[in-house]
Amino acid sequence: MSQLNLKSIKNQAEKEIKKTENLTELEGIFKKYLGKTGVITQVLRSLEKLSKEKKAKIGKEANELKKFLKLLFEQKTQAFKEKVKKETEESEWLDVTLPGKKPVFGHLHPLTLARRRMEEIFQSMGFSIVEGPEMETEWYNFDALNIPKNHPARDIWDTFYLKTELSRSENEGEDEATASSPTELSRSENEGEDEATASSPTELPKEAKVKMKTKFSSPGGLLLRTHTSPMQVRYMEKNQPPLRIIVPGNVFRHEATDYRHEFQLFQVEGLMVDREISVPSFKAIIGEFFRRFFKKEVEFRLKPDFFPFTEPSFDISMTCLVCAGKGCSACKNTGWMEVAGAGMVHPNVFKNSGLNPKEWRGWAFGFGLDRLAMMKYKINDIRLLRSGDLRFLHQF
């Protein structure tokens, strides 16, 4: 073993240590030179065969090299450890003062907002809220409302007829239909609230809404109700006037869709029956409703119309708020939006409900809530309401 040899071992080892990139590599190199069978260990072992002189000289140098390399390894190991520590500190560092990620909250649909507002307003005027079935009999949807079979008036409502017919006895006995009296209802009003808070109006108390238990034992087939008017008869059959109700609910029409028409709509029926009821009282209540719903004075007009279950009949149109009456796609460039059908309850409807038309008088309306929502929120296409398009919905 010559000095030259030790020198080249030293050079080689230094080079290799320098090149290592991590602790594992470094440990490999350590073993290679200083392990049990490592290069230096072997050099030291081979000394035995040498002369005393050489042994002393080379032995000393080899031991120095061993010490030197050990130190080098220790330094490098330390450097690696520090590097790892620094890296984990950096990657695992947490800034507890950073604001958290906000979860995305859902919010109420414009139709729900409009419906709740409408319910609050009518409740405050003493109206009860009643709900009825979306699946109806031909009797309640048409016949009881003075629309006989084969009468052309039936064509006004394009109807989805159902193939199945419930057995007559199926719902027997479930015929209680009463609404809690208006006096029991919450009169909580959100008048004066700004738009922001109006988006989360106070929930109506449970007892304020009454679901009519329904029996489908009347004559005729079944259909998806085309309007909420059947509830006029269903309610009057079970409740003695004087009465004031509104009936919010979905209705279905087999018709083509466009900016102003959908095949599923949300209607709010209104019915007021008493001994002395007239068109002026109707107009006053509608005017009050508009004022509070739109939070401003809006122009509206009653135009003569025809419905078999009211006489006289009219439709309610209001200035189109999408275009401020200038004319747009929503109002078919007329500046007016038809928002409801209405009229004085027809004597035959009273008769079909078991009431004496000579004793009672009443008015009824059927608002299209979709259209009211269009006016309130300036929506120019009714189809957006049920599109499920988040770009639209996030605006409310």
| Site of interaction with ligand PHE (CB under 6 A) | 227, 229, 307, 310, 313, 341-343, 364-366
- Cβ(111)–Cβ(202) below 8 Å: no
Give the strand order in the sheet containing 336-345. 209-211, 128-131, 243-252, 264-274, 361-368, 336-345, 310-319, 300-307
Please tell me the distance from the alpha carbon of residue 217 to that of residue 62, in angstroms, as a whole number.
110
Q: How far is the CB of 265 from ligand PHE (least distance, A)?
A: 9
Report d(CA 84, CA 120) in Å as an integer: 65
Q: Name the residue nearer to ligand PHE (CB basis): 146 or 310.
A: 310
Please identify, using beta-carbon distances, which residue of 74 and 158 lies nearer to ligand PHE.
158
Q: Which is nearer to ligand PHE, 73 or 307 (CB)?
A: 307
The distance of closest approach from Cβ of residue 137 to ligand PHE in the complex, given in angstroms and rounded to an integer, is: 16
Give the residue with the Cβ less far from ligand PHE, 69 or 251.
Answer: 251
Minimal distance, residue 223 CB to ligand PHE, in Å: 14
SS3 217: coil
Q: Considering beta carbons, is residue 43 or 372 the nearer one to ligand PHE? A: 372
Q: Which residue, 289, 266, 123, is CA-closest to 207? A: 123
Determine the Cα–Cα distance for residues 378 and 328; give it in Å rounded to an integer: 11
| Closer of 73 and 363 to ligand PHE (Cβ) | 363
In angstroms, the CA 81 to CA 266 distance is 70
Contacts with 206 (C-beta within 8 Å, 6 or more apart), sequence order? none
For residue 187, the cross-strand partners are none
Please state the closest distance from residue 345 (CB atom) to ligand PHE, in A: 8
Closest approach of Cβ 363 to ligand PHE, in Å?
8
Q: How far is the CB of 156 from ligand PHE (least distance, A)?
A: 7
Distance of CA 260 to the CA centre of its chain: 23
